């Protein structure tokens, strides 16, 4: 008893268990349990990796890991360079110059965000096939008759993967750097020009260094998406660590070895998160009272040429694949008007998965964000709010393959315990798709937590205080004050989560129930077999769903600029 009393003398422990600002309230405990639940798959992954000996590593080190590690490093490096060049270049061109098509391109450059990487690979593999439409047209122009006379380099290569992933992921850098370029005061650039700097020198010595934190954040987001990719890399024949983890588990049925390789990937994730943290730590905001950069008119053919160059990422990363998918879908629907039973079943499963994931994410994120608001309002342990939100948002930084491997052992243990408790055969949570929904919710709840926390931050505490003075309790204040004001953030975050859940491939591949196909897995299976009967229709449906949040993002950006 004396030792307990001594422990309670510490302010931290005393604040946890006593006083009106105690953290051990149902609200805070619920948020803490959610955050620890997201951390559980990572702990389980490390535990699973220690449950097997290293006898199989001789074969992995000799034949598997060197190539996979080399491909992963080169892929990350190549994508980082390409998204940096395209994202920064297009953001600066849109900000600093006025040319034909500038207003359209300012939002059209975001459209590749709607394209999952595996769909871009699926489309371009067919477009650039030796007997596909593009190479056939080029041979027609050059007067050749067969692929033996003229043939473009094979897209199935590491360089092809870098180009395609870069064309899809550059909007992350474009978004972050353009926001920084817009907020930069014009007088700094004018001072550099007055001191004799050229236009290029002003960009590299003034504008780009100020945008370096935003560049680091954008590149880190693109690299996390690159690590999460499995479909595009496998379609293009690039054996990355992510693909190796998947094949080790599925093809060789060696979960421990897959967990050990996944632990290696955690080092890449730690490096990328460190880069992102460094970027956010250094990020600052200029005063809005300062005069912003005014774009300089580029006249004549130079303006048209600049517009054509800036539009290339949009054409290659969105327009061309979408037109191809529309053409192939029209041909398919023209041959057989009614959609097949398998496609309709995949569509239904996809909608159910996306709707279930969105519902879970919104409920969980509301709890975490509301708990964070009360922690900040009560000034109770400043680190609690920040730590809980970071832990709860950790799932988005972990690739779906790694998250699924770490999530499976504890989830299966709970499922077996539940089956024994209910005295039923089988695994009710796994077979019902509930485990898949929970894992997807862990992965995407960071999107909603950030949006809802930002939305709550814009609601002044005085409104809540006035409601409480008028006799409303906490639930009534939330329902009548906060919820209506949070509706825009709720809708936008729900759309983002719904679209991401529809196109999620790695988690769905690994945790789906038997005979459960989504649009993403249906497309993956057809591409793996080399058939394209209904893959184009499935891909087009996913792209259409992904376009909705991009349109919402564009409207938000235009509203802020207005």
Residue 185 sits at φ, ψ, to 5 deg, of -70, 140
Closest CA to 526 of 119, 229, 248, 154: 119
pLDDT score, position 165:
94
Q: How far is CA 554 from CA 89, 107, 560, in A?
A: 19, 6, 10
Residue 16 in this model has a pLDDT that exceeds 50: no
Residue 17 in this model has a pLDDT that exceeds 60: no
Give CA–CA dist 421/294, Å, rounded: 68
pLDDT tens-digit map of 278-304: 666 655 544 444 566 778 888 888 889
pLDDT score, position 294:
79
Q: Which residues contact 267 (CB under 8 A, 6 or more apart)?
A: none
pLDDT tens-digit map of 410-455: 888 888 888 888 888 778 888 888 899 999 999 888 888 877 877 7
pLDDT score, position 168:
93
Poorest-pLDDT segment among 2-16, 180-194, 262-276, 524-538: 2-16
Summarize the confidence of residues 103-128 as an average pLDDT. Answer: 88
Where does 102-213 show beta strands of DSSP type E?
none
Residue 297, strand partner residues: 98
pLDDT score, position 280:
63
Residue 63 in this model has a pLDDT that exceeds 60: yes
Summarize the confidence of residues 135-157 as an average pLDDT. Answer: 82
pLDDT band at 21 (very low <50, low <70, confident <90, very high): very low
pLDDT tens-digit map of 210-232: 888 888 888 888 998 898 888 88
Give CA–CA dist 183/287, Å, rounded: 8
pLDDT score, position 423:
80
What is the distance in angstroms between the CA of the first residue and the CA of the last residue of the chain?
64
Q: Give the other-Cβ count within 10 Å of 474's Cβ.
A: 13
Q: What share of the chain is helix, strand, coil (3-state, %, to 5)?
A: 80, 0, 20
Give CA–CA dist 265/100, Å, rounded: 44
Residue 98, strand partner residues: 297
Give CA–CA dist 265/279, Å, rounded: 21
SS (H, E, C) 200-263: HHHHHHHHHHHCHHHHHHHHHHHHHHHHHCCHHHHHCCCCCHHHHHHHHHHCCCCHHHHHHHHH
């Amino acid at each position: 008893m004396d030792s307990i009393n001594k422990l309670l003398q510490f302010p931290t422990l005393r604040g946890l268990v006593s006083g009106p600002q105690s953290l051990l309230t149902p609200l805070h405990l619920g948020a803490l349990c959610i955050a620890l639940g997201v951390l559980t798959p990572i702990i389980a992954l490390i535990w699973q990796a220690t449950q097997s000996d290293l006898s199989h590593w001789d074969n992995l080190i000799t034949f598997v890991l060197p190539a996979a590690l080399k491909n992963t490093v080169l892929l990350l490096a190549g994508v980082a360079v390409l998204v940096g060049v395209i994202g920064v270049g297009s953001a600066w061109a849109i900000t600093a110059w006025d040319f034909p098509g500038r207003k359209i391109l300012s939002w059209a450059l975001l459209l590749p965000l709607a394209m999952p990487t595996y769909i871009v690979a699926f489309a371009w593999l067919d477009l650039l096939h030796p007997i596909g439409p593009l190479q056939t047209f080029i041979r027609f122009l050059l007067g050749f008759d067969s692929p033996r006379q003229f043939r473009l380099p094979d897209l199935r290569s590491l360089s092809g993967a870098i180009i395609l992933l870069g064309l899809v992921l550059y909007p992350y850098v474009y978004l972050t750097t353009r926001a920084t370029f817009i907020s930069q005061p014009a007088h700094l650039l004018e001072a550099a020009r007055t001191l004799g700097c050229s236009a290029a020198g002003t960009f590299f010595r003034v504008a780009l260094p100020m945008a370096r934190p935003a560049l680091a954040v954008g590149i880190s987001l693109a690299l996390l998406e690159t690590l999460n990719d499995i479909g595009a890399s496998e379609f293009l024949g690039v054996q990355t660590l992510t693909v190796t983890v998947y094949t080790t588990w599925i093809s060789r049925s060696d979960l421990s070895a897959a967990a050990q390789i996944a632990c290696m990937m955690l080092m890449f994730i730690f490096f990328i998160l460190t880069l992102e943290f460094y970027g956010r730590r250094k990020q600052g905001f200029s005063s809005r009272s300062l005069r912003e950069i005014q774009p300089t008119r580029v006249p004549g053919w130079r303006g048209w040429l600049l517009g054509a160059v800036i539009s290339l990422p949009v054409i290659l990363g969105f327009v061309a694949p979408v037109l191809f998918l529309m053409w192939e879908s029209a041909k398919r629907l023209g041959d057989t008007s009614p959609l097949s039973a398998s496609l309709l079943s995949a569509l239904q499963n996809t909608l159910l998965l996306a709707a279930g994931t969105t519902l879970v994410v919104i409920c969980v994120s509301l709890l975490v964000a509301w708990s964070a608001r009360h922690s900040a309002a009560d000034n109770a342990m400043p680190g609690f709010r920040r730590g809980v939100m970071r832990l709860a948002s950790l799932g988005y930084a972990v690739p779906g393959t790694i998250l699924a491997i770490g999530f499976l052992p504890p989830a299966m243990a709970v499922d077996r315990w539940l089956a024994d408790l209910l005295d039923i055969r089988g695994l009710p949570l796994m077979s019902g798709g509930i485990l898949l929904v929970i894992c997807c919710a862990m992965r995407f709840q960071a999107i909603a937590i950030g949006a809802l926390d930002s939305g709550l931050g814009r609601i002044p505490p005085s409104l809540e205080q006035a409601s409480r003075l008028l006799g409303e309790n906490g639930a009534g204040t939330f329902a009548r004050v906060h919820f209506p004001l949070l509706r825009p953030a709720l809708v936008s975050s729900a759309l983002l989560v719904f679209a991401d859940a529809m196109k999620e491939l790695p988690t769905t591949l690994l945790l789906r129930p038997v005979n459960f196909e989504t649009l993403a897995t249906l497309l993956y299976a057809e591409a793996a077999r080399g058939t394209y009967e209904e893959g184009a229709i499935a891909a087009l449906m996913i792209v259409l769903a992904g376009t909705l949040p991009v349109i919402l993002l564009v409207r938000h950006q235009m509203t802020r600029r207005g």
